[in-house]
Amino acid sequence: MNRYTSYVVGLLGFIFIFLAIDIYYKYHQFSDYHKKISEKTVSSTRAEIEQILLSEKRRLDLFADQEQQLLTALYLAPNNPVKQQNLKTKIDKYFPDMLEYSIADSEGNIRLSQETFEVYSTCRQNIIQMAKHGKPALLNVHNRTDIKKQHYDLMVRLPNQSIFFISYHIDPIIKLLAKRQTEHHWLFVVNRQKSRQLEFFPPATFQGLEHSGMIQSATEFIASNTLVETGESARIQASDWIIIDQLDPDYRNSKIISLLIQHTIVMVLFIVLSVVFLKLMRKEITNNSNTRILLKGVEDERKRISMDLHDQILADITHLSRKVSASEIVDSKNINAQLLLITRSIRNVIEDLHPNSLDLLGIEATLQNYIQKNSCGGGIPDYSIKIPEEVDLLLEPYQRYTVYRILVELVNNIINHAQCCSYSVTANHNNSMITFKISDNGIGLDRNSGHHTSLGLNNIKSRCQMLGATFSISDNLPCGTLITLSLHIPQVKIEYSI
């Protein structure tokens, strides 16, 4: 039983390792798949946003270049209504998607605007940076509280150090993000220079970020500089914006839990099957043990009966025979002959019940003696018996007697039914298996006659089953029958006595 338990524990260990590797492989397959989605989404969306920004920036630079004289004049005299109208007409033509336009000095003060509004710190910083370095340090999204619109500014510096800029709605970019966002993924933009402040995002992404606790407010994004393995990020050219595609952590966690549950169910199923198997094996081993005890008990009883017959009945008959011989009873010789026949019959019964030569000489010699004793008539086929001594040493006494009786029954079947010229009985030992082979060159087994299911063969099969042995019958090509008897035995060290 311990051997089977070790096998089962080893198998369960192998299955556990296999399932762990399978979980690892499937999760990485899942991660790689969504990683590729993130990479593709970030790459294509970044290209489209850059196209929007660069296109608007080129248009702004071209307009400022062409209308430099008009912009400078308005900077110096912003209250000129004719030039204001002229500028408005041209801007409406060049920039149909703009929110508003403005001209500011190098300190961030508005000199001319489509509408009068307060310049907030974010916008002022951009104007000052543009005036000093020729480009704004940041491209920021910020609110116009007076018109409740988020916007970003594109700027150009004029020769007189004044700044002309156009404010754009953020809605087109948000719609682009919403369009490119894939299932179970978040797509949003943060500002690299402002502690990764959340710049803009589709509504569904904000709900997911808020639900996951990745943002504290509408503008503060909590994240490390490195994304998890299922995310991807890239900087958008001509800005300090970083576009991020991130797999929903809840979806990722649910996938991990799903894999764990599936493989746990499989593992539990294997454990249940293993427990059932061990219980069945324990039951079978118990049955085999009971069978072994039963067979041993039968052999002990046979031995006791044979000893009783030899020591009591046979002794009494011998004593009676001597009395008859010494007496003057009429026909004493005939009575003595009958007693002698009875004595021989009893000796045969004793030998059949418990052949003593089996313990002394082994299966091979005992079987040869049996064949020689019962081959008085003619037409007896030639035979060959080769059973190594180690086979006798490996078999327990009850196994040896049972195997011997099976071989005797098979030899009798060959002599009576096979119509063969010769037959052989061999045995060999390989690891923990002893195999007996009984072959003849007779007429073979007629499977249509029903002889292969006769009482004799059924008795042999029953004895093999009780012994825990396997029994098979096949054709012995080119003619005859081959019978194989295989018996599993524990591996033991054989000690030969000299």
Which has the higher per-residue pLDDT, 237 or 193? 237
Domain end (from 232, 247, 262): 247
Residues 240 and 363 in one domain: no
Residues 241 and 367 in one domain: no
Residues 33 and 163 in one domain: yes
Domain end (from 247, 265, 298): 247
Residues 224 and 364 in one domain: no
Residues 243 and 363 in one domain: no
- Give a yes or no: residue 440 inside a domain: yes
Q: What is the pLDDT of residues 208-217, one digit of tens each?
A: 666 655 554 4
- Give a yes or no: residue 133 inside a domain: yes
- Give a yes or no: residue 295 inside a domain: no
Q: Are 389 and 362 contacting, i.e. CB atoms less than 8 angstroms apart?
A: yes
Confidence of residue 424 (pLDDT cuts 50, 70, 90): very high
Confidence of residue 449 (pLDDT cuts 50, 70, 90): low
Query: For the chain, how many structural domains are there in total?
Result: 2
Q: What is the pLDDT of residue 466?
A: 78
Half-sphere exposure in the Cβ direction for 182 (13 Å, CA) = 19
Residues 239 and 365 in one domain: no
Q: Are 173 and 187 contacting, i.e. CB atoms less than 8 angstroms apart?
A: no
Residues 237 and 373 in one domain: no
Tell me which long-range contacts 251-257 makes (C-beta under 8 A, separation of at least 24): 251/184, 252/34, 252/228, 255/27, 255/30, 256/27
Among the residue ranges 19-33, 297-311, 414-428, 475-489, the one predicted with the least confidence is 297-311
Q: Are 245 and 187 contacting, i.e. CB atoms less than 8 angstroms apart?
A: yes
Residues 374 and 233 in one domain: no
From residue 132, how far is each of 54, 71, 95, 307, 368 by CA, in Å? Answer: 22, 19, 26, 124, 119
Confidence of residue 455 (pLDDT cuts 50, 70, 90): low
Q: Tell me, what CATH number does 85's domain have?
A: 3.30.450.20
Confidence of residue 399 (pLDDT cuts 50, 70, 90): confident
pLDDT at 220 over 50: no
β partners of residue 232: 245
- The CA distance from 229 to 398, in Å, is 68
Q: Tell me, what CATH number does 462's domain have?
A: 3.30.565.10
Q: What is the mean pLDDT of residues 246-257?
A: 86
Instruction: Compute the Cα dihedral for 352, 356, 357, 358 and give only its sign.
Output: positive
> What is the share, in percent, of the chain residues with pLDDT greater than 70?
71
Which of 310-314, 333-337, 348-352 reaches the highest mean pLDDT? 333-337
- Give a yes or no: residue 342 inside a domain: no
- Give a yes or no: residue 279 inside a domain: no
> What is the share, in percent, of the chain residues with pLDDT greater than 90?
17
Q: What is the mean pLDDT of residues 272-299?
A: 69
Among the residue ranges 7-21, 124-138, 144-158, 255-269, the one predicted with the least confidence is 144-158
- Give a yes or no: residue 188 inside a domain: yes
Q: What is the pLDDT of residue 43?
A: 93
Q: What is the pLDDT of residues 191-200, one digit of tens each?
A: 777 655 666 6
Confidence of residue 327 (pLDDT cuts 50, 70, 90): low
Q: What is the DSSP letter of 491?
A: -
Q: What is the pLDDT of residue 71?
A: 92
Q: What is the pLDDT of residues 403-412, one digit of tens each?
A: 988 898 899 8
Which has the higher per-residue pLDDT, 465 or 122? 465
Q: Are 417 and 451 contacting, i.e. CB atoms less than 8 angstroms apart?
A: yes
- The CA distance from 83 to 194, in Å, is 39
Q: What is the largest CA-CA distance in the chain?
A: 173
Domain end (from 247, 279, 311): 247
370: domain range? Answer: 359-488
- The CA distance from 439 to 414, in Å, is 9
- The CA distance from 401 to 398, in Å, is 5
Which of 127-141, 217-231, 329-343, 422-436 reaches the highest mean pLDDT? 422-436
- The CA distance from 378 to 381, in Å, is 9
Distance of CA 247 to the CA centre of its chain: 27
Which of 128-132, 328-332, 387-391, 461-465 reaches the highest mean pLDDT? 387-391
Among the residue ranges 8-17, 31-40, 261-270, the one predicted with the least confidence is 8-17
- Give a yes or no: residue 340 inside a domain: no
- The CA distance from 387 to 407, in Å, is 12
- Mean pLDDT (the chain, rounded): 78
Which has the higher per-residue pLDDT, 144 or 127? 127
Q: What is the mean pLDDT of residues 88-98?
A: 89
Distance of CA 232 to the CA centre of its chain: 31
Contacts of 478 (CB under 8 A, 6+ apart): none
- Give a yes or no: residue 19 inside a domain: yes
Tokens, residue 286:
């118990």
Phi, psi of 275 (to 5 degrees): -65, -45
Contacts of 111 (CB under 8 A, 6+ apart): 74, 75, 78, 103, 104, 105, 162
Residues 14 and 161 in one domain: yes
Q: What is the pLDDT of residues 358-398, one digit of tens each?
A: 878 899 998 888 888 877 666 678 899 999 988 988 888 88
Residues 234 and 378 in one domain: no
